[in-house]
């Protein structure tokens, strides 16, 4: 049995989920120090870049580690 869901409805549901996830992730950083937030941002960016460039979870993990260290070091200089 197949259900025919109109594409605008699927897009609306996807957009609502994306906005909910974004607001939850942003509120998670509210109680962090600037250094902790910089480390998290660096790790996230590193994971995305590492995963995209290598196409592997190992690359994403190494990118997250490197990005976290870089984000931590950058926050020390501010």
Dump pLDDT digits (tens) for 24-76: 777 777 788 889 988 988 998 999 899 889 988 899 999 999 999 999 999 88
Number of Cβ within a 10 Å radius of residue 51: 18
77: which 2 tokens? 């200089």
As a whole number of angstroms, the distance between CA 54 and CA 60 comes to: 8
Dump pLDDT digits (tens) for 14-28: 888 888 887 877 777
Residue 56: phi, psi to the nearest 5?
A: -130, 160
**Proportion of the chain in helix, strand, coil states, percent, rounded to 5:** 80, 0, 20
Q: What is the pTM of this model?
A: 0.63
């Amino acid at each position: 049995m197949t259900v025919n869901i109109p594409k605008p409805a699927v897009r609306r549901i996807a957009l609502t989920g994306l906005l909910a996830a974004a607001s939850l992730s942003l509120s998670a950083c509210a109680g962090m120090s600037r250094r902790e937030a910089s480390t998290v941002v660096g790790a996230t960016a590193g994971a995305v870049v590492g995963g995209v460039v290598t196409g592997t979870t190992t690359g994403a993990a190494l990118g997250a580690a490197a990005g976290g260290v870089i984000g931590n070091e950058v926050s020390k200089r501010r």
